Amino acid sequence: MDDVVGQNEIIKRLKSYVKTRNLPHLLFSGPPGVGKTAAAISIVREIFCEDWRNNFIELNASDERGIDVIRHKVKEFARMAPLGEADFKVIFLDEADALTNDAQSALRRTMERYSATTRFILSCNYSSKIIEPIQSRCAVYRFKPLDSESIAKRIKYIADQESLKVSNEGMEAIIYVANGDMRRAINAIQAAALLSDMVTEETIYQITSTAKPEEMREFINVALKGDFISARSMLDNLLLSKGLSGEDVVIQIHKAMLEMDIPDKDKVRLIDRIGEIDFRLTEGANERIQLEALLAYFVLSGKHSNYQN
């Protein structure tokens, strides 16, 4: 369990369950790649030791999200007696927020009926999508996005084990691309390692199809200064040369906007429009038209505010 980084307070409390060998129903919520699944499996392995596979089942609720998976797979495993000297079995439902309301209601009844011999660990990105009766039966742990220090420490460890060299700029690029997601950080360094033993900033941004932060800031500045044609040319480069999707561009514009030195009243208005464009793209609107509409709004806003940076 010590391998789960960046969640020290949560891990400290989970270790008390391992020590007493007494486990309540658990609900882990938080963004992807922050250690929810790793924590769940670590608890089971440390409680059951070598017999952990016989008393543990993992199901991905996003693959099988209907009521049938609860009535059959979950219920069948729950009604079986624990094997060996174990006092209970553990059912781990990953991405439980993908379960339908009917499936969650069936799960609640199963949790009630077999609570003497079965413990449930539920993992989700949004705890608000889990019905209240299930939340009230679980000890809820909210995992936070990993900080830069935790990601850097783990990436350095992996690089040492794999005889890789990571430049300072490369490490900063990994942290930027990961955005608190350890899984994304590990995937980035793994892909970069296929190209060279030296992981650089250029390599990371290239293999992750991500624009550099300074490129995004320049892109926004050009639009705000009223040069629509140049900004549109830079948008072409992001979409065609770097391979970013429309949603990727909007996300990076939003992230860059928060870090720029822009008057608050202008920043609020621009972020409000970014949110509107993001919603339209999610609903299936044409990404090229929406991104150019966003650029046009930036140009008009810059002219009215006489923005210069």
pLDDT of residue 1: 64
pLDDT along the chain (309 residues), means of 10: 78 87 90 89 87 84 65 78 82 87 86 88 91 91 91 92 92 92 92 90 89 92 92 91 88 90 89 95 93 93 64
Q: What is the pLDDT of residues 80-128, one digit of tens each?
A: 877 877 888 898 988 888 888 888 888 888 888 888 889 999 999 988 9
Burial 207-226 (b: 16+ CB within 10 A, else e): bbebbbbebbbbbbbbbbbb
**Fold topology of 148-207:** Helicase, Ruva Protein; domain 3 (1.10.8)
* Burial zone of 28 (CB within 10 Å; 0-12 exposed, 13-18 middle, 19+ buried): buried
User: Given this model, what pLDDT does residue 66 score?
Assistant: 61
Question: Where exactly does CATH 1.20.272.10 map onto the chain?
Answer: 213-305
* pLDDT for the residue numbered 61: 66
Instruction: Fill in the amino acid letter for 119.
Output: R
Note the pLDDT of residue 74.
80
CATH number of the 8-142 domain: 3.40.50.300
d(Cα 218, Cα 231) in Å, to the nearest integer?
9
pLDDT value at residue 261: 87
The tokens describing 113, both together, are: 């009926």
pLDDT for 206 equals: 87
* In the chain, ranges of CATH 1.10.8.60 domains: 148-207
Report the pLDDT value the prediction gives residue 309, as an integer from 0 to 100: 47
As annotated, the residues of the chain forming the CATH 3.40.50.300 domain(s) are: 8-142
pLDDT of residue 278: 94
Give the helix/strand (H/E) hosting 197: none
**CATH level 2 (architecture), domain 213-305:** Up-down Bundle (1.20)
**Cα 171 to Cα 152: distance, rounded to the nearest angstrom:** 7
